[in-house]
Structure formats: C-alpha cells, structure tokens
Structure 1
Amino acid sequence: MINYLKELDKKIFILIHHDGENSFFNFIMPFVRDKYFWTPLYIVFLILIFYHFKKKSWIIIFAVTLLITITDQLSSSVFKPIFHRLRPCQNSELSAYMNHVIDCGSGFGFVSSHAANHFALAVFIGLLFYSRIKWLLFVLLAWAALVCYAQVYVGYHYPADVICGGIVGTIPSVLLYRYLKKRLTKTN
C-alpha cells in the first residue's frame, strides 16, 4: 500500500510538471512560495487582529507565534528526521520532467513546513474571524492551497508532502482555536 501511494504521489507530481507547466507559472510560482511575498497579507492579519481584539490582541499574536513554532518544529524536527524523504528536485529520475525554476536546496521534504505553517495560519485566522467574516476562512484555505501548489510546482515537494503538511498545520490550529475561543469572547 505504501509503495502504491508513493507511486501515485510521483505520478501526480509528474502530471503537474508535464501538463501544468507554463511560462506564467514559471514566473509567478517562485514568488507565491516565498514567505516575504506575503508580507502585506501578514500586515493585514495584524491590522484585523488589533482592530477586532484590541487589548486581547497580544493573546492572538502570542497564539499565532506559538502555533507557527509548533507546526514548524513538528514538520522540521519531528517528521523530516523520521521519514528522510528526499525532495523531488533531488530525485534524478524526476529531473527530466521538471522545469527547474528555483534552486533545489537541501534537506528532506516530508512533511512540508510551508504547508504546515500556512495552513496553521489560514485555519487559525479563518476560525478566529469566522463569526464576523465567514468567507475569510475559505479565501485563506485557498491561499494556503496555492502556496502548497507552488511548492509542488517548483519541485520542492511531492503532493503528499504538502497534503500531510496541511494536516500537520490544521490540527494544532483547530485545537488552539477551540482552547482560546472562550477566552477571546469580545469583552473589550
């Protein structure tokens, strides 16, 4: 079963690189996966948090910092050392299918830290504002999925790396949100 899933993962990766490759994506996807590209969005998150939570904003900022630390450490210090899965860009068998738009880098790919961190942020912020801005959760999930797709598109991760990374990011963010929900009732 594991071998079947690995082969399926590889086939989907090749499909994305063979059928999905185009000059626009070659240009934009390296930016989409770059955390600094999204700085304006992070600033919008901060503005929303300070506007809606006022004195309790520090709790949210601390929670987001804790959440990203947890998801980043889970992906980088727990899963990657356990699974030792090389990135697809390090696989010479796949090189012929890839349009190398970024440097490959080093390290292991399973699970994707980008996916874990972006899904953690998207789910937590989306749930935080769900009662006020229902559509925001879906927009943020689409944003996190786009970042994940970019990771696969540039050859840095297999699809399973980002799917599992998304799960690693989602679970702690839901748990943390549920824990903080009662404490965040707007009483300012």
Structure 2
Amino acid sequence: MESILQLDTDILIYLNSIRSLLWDNFFWIYTSTIIWVPLYVAITYVLFKRMGWQAVWVLLAVALTITLCDQISSSIFKPLFARPRPTREPHLEGILQLINDYRAGRFGFVSGHATNSFGLAIFLSLIFRKKYFAIFIYVWASLNAYSRIYAGVHYPGDILGGIILGTFIGWGVFKLYEYITIRHPKTNSIRETKFGSEVQFAVAVGVLSFVMIFLSSKILLKIMS
C-alpha cells in the first residue's frame, strides 16, 4: 500500500509540474459552473424538443444522479477514508503548484468533480445514444477530472476512484429511469425515443464553450503580462 500511495504522489507531482499560465487560466475558468450554463440549457432544450413534458423525468433523473454523486463522494467517502488532500500534506508544501492558492477542503478521496462529471456523462450518453455526443461529453468529463490534478487538489487515485463511483451511479440511475419508464403506462420508454440531429446543437454549444474558455484564457494571459 505504501508503494501504491508513493506512486500516486509521484504521478501527481509530475503531472502538476506540466503547466503554463495559459493553462492555469484555462482550467480556472473551465471548472467554473457558470461557464457551462449554455451547455446545460442546450441539453434541456434538446430533451424538451424531442420528448415534450416527459423530459421532466429525465431532468429529475439528472438531479438524482448529481445528488447521489455529490453526497456519496463528499458525505460518505471523504469522511470514511479521511485521506488528506495533497494541498493539506506538509511534505508537499512548496512542491505543488497551485492556481490562485486554491487548496479546497480537508479530505480528497474521492474527487467530487470526477464523480459528478462522469456520473452525468454516463447518464446522458445512455440517454442520447449518439457516438459524437458520447465522445464530446467524455472529453468534457475527463478534462474536468484532470483539472483537479492540474490544480494540485487531488491525487490521481482520488480521480480514478471518482470516475469509478460516478460511472456506477450514472449507470445505476439510468437503469432505474429505464425501468420506471418501461413500467409506467403514461410514460414513453426511453427505448422508444429516437434523438436526431438536434443533439448536434447541444454538442455545438459545448464546443463553442470550449473555444470561448480558451480565448478568454489567452486574453487574461495578455492582460497579466
């Protein structure tokens, strides 16, 4: 176990050292909730456009997914394992490079960002069943998870644990949603819902958000220099 934990630390130090001011700005903006509001609105629009009022059931399932991911990772796993974040380890003080001196909370296993991102990504990819959307949402989730290593607030092991937990929760909530919609006589089964090119609109909004984040990062870099 000691050798595994040391490897986890070594990987963190190496990955955390690969950085620049541009990517500092990028990941700081990237992990802001408000920057992704247009994407969330676009996904909601696509759901209602194809499913009508029954999209409410999907949104409730999304809310359940996020709630379970957040509460299980933060209220159960973190206090249960009580693994200090790297930013709370005295022997890593001065070694890790932080963004705006952000240190986050006391415990880090598992990563809430990784859990939430992959829980949502798994659930939505199973709802839309479009390869291009799956690629986009998994890239989005992966960058969100990696940003925590880049910022020095999580070990890679915290991220891996969050990805696994989020995957199980997202898949489990989808299976529950699928079971309920199949059995409920007034609800169309998700198997009967065929999403078309409108999903491309949500992906386009997401890609545009990526571009805006990168351009904003470059503008900030010029202002800072």
Task: Name the TM-score, length of structure 2 as normaliser.
Answer: 0.77
Q: For residues 100-152 of structure 1, give each alpha carbon's deviation from its aligned partner in whole angstroms, at most 9, with x where no partner exists.
A: 2132132311101111111111111111101xx22211211111010011111
The one-letter code sitting in structure 1 at the alignment partner of 2:90 is S
Note the C-alpha offset of 1:17.
1.7
Paired residues of 2:88 and 2:106 also in contact (CA < 8 A): no
For 1:15, the equivalent position in structure 2 comes to 14
For 2:205, the equivalent position in structure 1 comes to none
Runs (5+) with no aligned partner, structure 1: none
Match of residue 170, structure 1, among 167, 175, 179: 167
For 1:74, the equivalent position in structure 2 comes to 72
The one-letter code sitting in structure 2 at the alignment partner of 1:14 is I
Q: Partner of 2:153: helix, strand, or coil?
A: coil
Rounded Cα–Cα distance in structure 1 between residues aligned with 2:34 and 2:153: 17
Deviates more, 1:43-52 or 1:121-130: 43-52
The one-letter code sitting in structure 1 at the alignment partner of 2:133 is L
Number of equivalences: 184
Runs (5+) with no aligned partner, structure 2: 183-188, 195-225
Rounded Cα–Cα distance in structure 1 between residues aligned with 2:42 and 2:154: 28
Note the C-alpha offset of 1:187.
6.5
Counterparts in 2 of 1:52 and 1:87: CA distance versus 1, 3 Å: same
For 1:151, the equivalent position in structure 2 comes to 148
Q: Partner of 2:192: helix, strand, or coil?
A: coil
Give RMSD over aligned pairs.
1.7
User: Is 1:117 matched up with 2:116?
Assistant: yes
Rounded Cα–Cα distance in structure 1 between residues aligned with 2:169 and 2:117: 12
Paired residues of 1:17 and 1:97 also in contact (CA < 8 A): no
Counterparts in 2 of 1:5 and 1:36: CA distance versus 1, 3 Å: farther
Paired residues of 1:120 and 1:169 also in contact (CA < 8 A): yes
Note the C-alpha offset of 1:35.
2.2
Percent sequence identity is 31
Task: Name the TM-score, length of structure 1 as normaliser.
Answer: 0.91
